[in-house]
Amino acid sequence: MPVETLEARMADLPRDQTIVAYCRGPYCALSAEAVKRLREEGFEALRTEISVSDWSDESIPGASGS
């Protein structure tokens, strides 16, 4: 979901799963902003530096805590 809708949709997000934020480009700061907001609200959240199409089915390589 776009970071602009995160606040309005936070109640819809699962609290028992890790949420992964990503951006479309390497210089995008929106995923870091999303992770910050999610963590402030008690979610476990990570940021990935790779695209969704590069994720494997078993893991999220490139995920970081920032």
- For every residue of 1-51, DSSP letters joined together read --GGGHHHHGGGS-TTS-EEE--SSTT--HHHHHHHHHHHTT--EEEESS-
User: What's the domain range around 28?
Assistant: 3-54
- List the chain pLDDT tens, one digit each, 66 residues: 888 999 999 999 999 999 999 887 666 788 899 999 999 999 999 998 776 666 654 455 555 555
Per-residue confidence (pLDDT) for residue 57, from 0 to 100: 47
Residue 53 has a pLDDT of 63
Within-domain flag for 31: yes
Instruction: With respect to residue 62, please indicate whether it lies within any of the assigned structural domains.
Output: no
Look at residue 33 and tell me if it is in a domain: yes
* Helix or strand (DSSP H, E) at 66: none
Q: What is the largest CA-CA distance in the chain?
A: 30
pLDDT score of 29: 84
Q: What's the confidence (pLDDT) of residue 56?
A: 55
Domain count, the chain: 1
Catalytic site residue 23? Answer: yes
Of these residues, 19, 21, 23, 34, which one is catalytic? 23
Q: What is the pLDDT of residue 5?
A: 93
Q: Is residue 49 part of a domain?
A: yes
How far apart (Å, rounded) are the C-alpha atoms in residues 14 and 8? 14
